[in-house]
Structure 1
């Protein structure tokens, strides 16, 4: 099943990428044609409408990341539609959605500004305003596209809100925590997808490029760099896969998923630096242009590593888990 799904998404993503060559920008424009193809195939709301689980969602968003897809599928399916269902709020049955997360004091009116909102102007925004003991949820109109994009070119913006208590649905604080966990997991999956693109491009480039009559990959230093690149990627994939299995077996709201996603966000985030550095070094100057797929992969990976919590924030959280466990070994190998 997942092999067929992967082949389908790969075909759709590849066609989208080929069609957009020469049309990338800062910010990257929303790919309406790709969205339509994915929506027609039932892939934009795979978990919420099609009954699929995290394993299938990982295939879709990972493959789309590999082709630098300019659509908010993770934001729509895993985050916004899920949050709307938890709050029993009505959202459009089709089209893209996004989420905005902000902290509020929870007294009186719910006011504030959510920053770094992904794809803020493509469709309705599901607000998750976090107080010390609650999550306030509301559906907001599309935000502004005037904000600076992330370093990967994806639109990011601010959404300001001022809502009365009757305009929001009050849910437990744990809902916002699961929302962030879902977002962090999705970014890990996307980063590994971008890593795969970077590795494929780097292996191809070093195998084809000749120097002193030999391909670059025959030089010992280049071979060592390629080995290091793949080692970082596979370590990241292992952590991401652990988090996916935890979500499949126990749900994103579980303690098991909490631990596994925390580990994945740290492991994957720490790999971003070496993977992107090695890939660009082995490509030379050709890899730094916006039209080269390497740039589209590596810069998105760098951006995603800081979203839904930075690597340092999650590393601190992992350390606190270890301290709270008493015996860190039990945390690592326990059930």
Structure 2
């Protein structure tokens, strides 16, 4: 299946199934069961999986349109989470049901977790509390990255308690309390260059999702300034508004480029190395999250008061943008990780690793090839003269 076919399939499916009535119903606590079943039947959740597990082994770039369309339509289902979870399970030889609802937890969410056991003959268990776990109340499986391991936990099993909460979009962002919850499987991703693969995959796909929703806000704004007439002409004829629309379009373009690069750097099913993935995912999440701050502000300034009303679609898009912006690590968290890695490695490591799109470590010298690409001081400062 080509990426165009994937795009056409998911775009048509979500356009037909996602409605204002569905969005409203999910915000009141319902789960979009019919939409989820249609997505599973179309094979979208297993798009990256091995053929033996019902997938087509698509690449991450081929799946970009899927994450983008989830954002553009604000589809109220955990499709991105399911794709990531199914991919990791398939890499580990597990064949989960296509209709499995999967919730992800990584990074700051799992720092308080304790992993016990995980030794020969000793079953592993997880204990601790996780906050803001999206869709946990509906999940069949929890994919949790804790203590350097990616763990698969039965969300309906013993030792798992879910306390329903909501995010800024009124979608499930639950607190999950684990009390010696059995780990069904420890997923040995085996990817060189990725110490925390789940966190990286989660950030990259969320960045793509944010880009789709921000592009939807741009389309709404463009259409509104064409239709809204004031003093006898569309307000889009005003140069100041044109400038703001151009800024918003630029934010979307930058976000899309960063997300596309991040997905390109993620490892395909048969790849065991991803040296650029963490750097690119961090940049994509920071870029997309910061674009939301600027872009959502412009979209609402252009619309005026109508954009804030519950009846207008920008309301739904903006609330999801703010909710997803905080998901999979905030821009501050990812920016700090980038900054700390480069500061600890020292100034000599900055340019080689920046141009190679890799995160340096304090004890890892740059490769000879990287040093060859390093510019002189004059070259680096030429643009500032």
TM-score (norm 2): 0.77
Picking from 119, 129, 134, the partner of 2:135 is 119
Q: Which residue in the other structure is 2:334 paired with?
A: 314
Taking structure 1 as reference, are residues 176 and 149 closer, same or farther at Cα in structure 2, changes over 3 Å only? farther
RMSD: 2.8
Aligned pair partner of 1:150 in 144, 167, 187? 167
2: distance between equivalents of 1:329 and 1:75? 34
Q: Residue 148 of structure 1 aligns to a residue in which SS?
A: coil
In 2: Cα distance, 1:24 partner to 1:119 partner: 15
Residue 202, structure 1, aligned to residue 203, structure 2: no
Q: Which runs of 5+ in 1 are unaligned?
A: none
Structure 1 residue 19: Cα displacement: 6.1
Residue 106 in 1 paired to residue 123 in 2? no
Structure whose alpha-carbon radius of gyration is higher: 2
CA distance in 2, matches of 1:122, 1:187: 19
What's 1:183 paired with? 202
1:291–1:44 distance in 2 versus 1, CA, 3 Å: farther
How far apart in 2 are the matches of 1:77 and 1:136? 16
Query: d(CA) in 1 for partners of 2:204 and 2:33?
Result: 25
Match of 1:216 in 2: 235
2:186 matched residue in structure 1: 169
Unaligned runs of 5+ in 2: 50-54, 118-124, 357-369, 371-385
- In the alignment, the residues of structure 2 paired with residue 314 and residue 50 of structure 1 have an alpha-carbon distance, to the nearest angstrom, of 32
Query: Within 5 Å, which residues of 2 pair with 1:16-27?
Result: 16-18=17-19, 20=21, 23-24=24-25, 26-27=27-28
Query: Residues 316 and 19 (structure 1 numbering): CA distance in 2 closer, same or farther, change over 3 Å?
Result: closer
| Deviation of the 1:159 alpha carbon | 1.7
Compared CA separation, residues 45 and 96, structure 1 to 2 (3 A): same
Deviation digits for residues 77-116 of structure 1 (CA, Å, limit 9, x no counterpart): 21x2234345555643434222244232435653112211
Is the counterpart of residue 57 in structure 1 residue 76 in structure 2? no
For this pair of structures, how many residues does the alignment match?
333
Residues 5 and 169 (structure 1 numbering): CA distance in 2 closer, same or farther, change over 3 Å? Answer: closer
C-alpha displacement of 1:36: 2.2
Structure 1 residue aligned with 2:252:
233
1:255 aligns to 2:270 (yes or no): no
Change (3 A) 1:226 1:88: same
Bigger RCO (CA 8 Å, 6+ sep): 1
